[in-house]
Amino acid sequence: MRDNQLRTPLHHAIMRNHIAIIDKLIKAGAKIDIPDVQGATPVHYAYRFGKDQEMFDRFPLDSNLFKLKTLDNKTPLEMAVEYGHTDIVIRYLSQENPRANPRLGLQVLIEAIRQRHENIISSFVLRPNIDSYLLHSVCRQTHGHELISNEKISHQLITKSTMTEINTDGFTALMVAVKYGQVECVKKLLNHQYCDKDVLEMRSVDSDRTVLHICAEVKSNQITDLLLPKAKQFALDLMPVDVMGNTPLHICVQKDNQHMIDPLLSDSSISLTVSSITQDKSNRRTENLGGIPKMLKIKNNNGLTAFHEAIENGHYEIVHKILMKVNYSVQLIEERDQQLRTGLHIAALKGEFILLLLQ
């Protein structure tokens, strides 16, 4: 017998914490793996509505139960985390071999971070050999900066090792914080003693991008204003190329990130920094001729400079910004792409910017 939410009598007994009725139903053969309309079984209900150990003793956690998942993929253990049964979770984690089910551990950790259960997070930090990238997980969450600042766990959470650790997606924790727009996390990490030049220069595994490329793509004004001064402080190369040959300026142009373009082109110490591009890696021209910043001479794998990209993508404001920043706009316009097209050729093909470029 089930109600309109597909709940069984056992679901209802657990909701009301009627232990005697629960015992009778289980003795009579009531199944504990029948889901309601949301996919929650009586076991999920026990760790949602249970008030004391008397309830939990009737539904002890074991690895077989973690096959039971709600429609939003929560196991009974994650339900226990969500509803604050911290002691139960920590007791189970202390008995479980972290290597046996690392994925489960990561799911529980993420739920603990969302619910701000510091004791559970601390137990993860102290567990050896769990492949869960704690700092990366924290940096994806809106309130992650609170955990980074927490005196109980911050010294274990942020180390030289965790700051340089690359997760399964190929990112450092700082890259993750930037990618997900977690401004406060970015601020905390950038101000940490372990955030040095090595951390800022690290590359993502697949796309060979630095945190500057990721920042350019994200288009967060606040993160840009935090990151660029730090990059200048460490005298970083602001023109690194990714696997597609794009510099952060190329990405800014492609994504119409005007806020980041301004400081890149405005500060002469940035715009005239020499990029370390080897001749055998690329045929990109990086000479600084006629007062054109080297940043605007670098061509990506499609043979396009950032200026070419701005015209190609129809970003009038960026074209205008770039022309206002160079001393010799004619030379910039006459710079040729891989197909020997100048800016005028590209503009003519696009049918735009002709008047602006001819001024």
* DSSP letter string, 248-306: HHHHHHHTT-HHHHHHHHH-HHHHTPPP---TTT--------TT--GGGT---TTS--H
pLDDT mean across residues, the chain: 80
Residues 6+ apart with CB under 8 A from 356: 316, 319, 320, 323
pLDDT: which is higher, 161 or 133: 161
Residues 6+ apart with CB under 8 A from 59: 32, 42, 43, 46, 47, 50, 65, 76
Kindly indicate the confidence band of residue 156, based on its pLDDT and cuts at 50, 70 and 90.
Answer: confident
Of 115-124, 170-179, 192-201, 239-248, least confident by mean pLDDT is 115-124
Kindly indicate the confidence band of residue 135, based on its pLDDT and cuts at 50, 70 and 90.
Answer: confident
Strand boundaries in the chain, DSSP class E: none
Task: Give the per-residue pLDDT at 130.
Answer: 47
In the predicted structure, residue 358 carries a pLDDT above the cut 70: no
Other beta carbons within 10 angstroms of residue 316's beta carbon come to 12
- List C-alpha distances in Å: 112 to 57, 78, 79, 106, 165: 22, 8, 10, 10, 21
Summarised one tens digit per residue, pLDDT across range 175-184 is: 999 999 999 9
Kindly indicate the confidence band of residue 132, based on its pLDDT and cuts at 50, 70 and 90.
Answer: low
Q: Residue 75 region, left (φ>0) first, then alpha (ψ -120 to 50), else beta?
A: beta
Q: Residue 246 region, left (φ>0) first, then alpha (ψ -120 to 50), else beta?
A: beta
> Which tokens hold the place of 191?
């101000």
Task: Give the per-residue pLDDT at 89.
Answer: 77
Residue labelled with tokens 């404001």: 317
Sign of CA dihedral 135, 141, 147, 153: negative
> Which tokens hold the place of 231?
């990059």
Which amino acid belongs to residue 119?
Answer: N
Task: Give the per-residue pLDDT at 184.
Answer: 95
> Which tokens hold the place of 126?
């102290």
Residues 6+ apart with CB under 8 A from 324: none
Q: Please tell me what DSSP assigns to residue 63.
A: G
Kindly indicate the confidence band of residue 317, based on its pLDDT and cuts at 50, 70 and 90.
Answer: confident
| Entry pTM | 0.66
CA pair distance 312, 315, nearest whole angstrom? 8
Give me the long-range contacts of 7-10 (CB less than 8 A, separation at least 24). 7/36, 8/34, 8/42, 10/34, 10/42
Task: Tell me if 40 sits within 8 A of 32, measured CB to CB.
Answer: no
Residue labelled with tokens 């889901």: 35
Q: Rounded mean pLDDT of 49-54?
A: 91
Phi, psi of 222 (to 5 degrees): -65, -45
Of 57-66, 109-118, 200-209, 324-333, least confident by mean pLDDT is 109-118
Residues 6+ apart with CB under 8 A from 151: none
Q: Residue 50 region, left (φ>0) first, then alpha (ψ -120 to 50), else beta?
A: beta
Summarised one tens digit per residue, pLDDT across range 231-253 is: 999 999 999 999 999 999 999 99
Torsion of CA 200, 201, 205, 206, to 10 degrees: 100
Phi, psi of 174 (to 5 degrees): -65, -40
Domains of the chain: 133-236 (1.25.40.20), 239-359 (1.25.40.20)
Task: Tell me if 44 sits within 8 A of 36, measured CB to CB.
Answer: no
In the predicted structure, residue 121 carries a pLDDT above the cut 80: no
Over its C-alpha atoms, the chain yields an Rg (Å, rounded) of 28
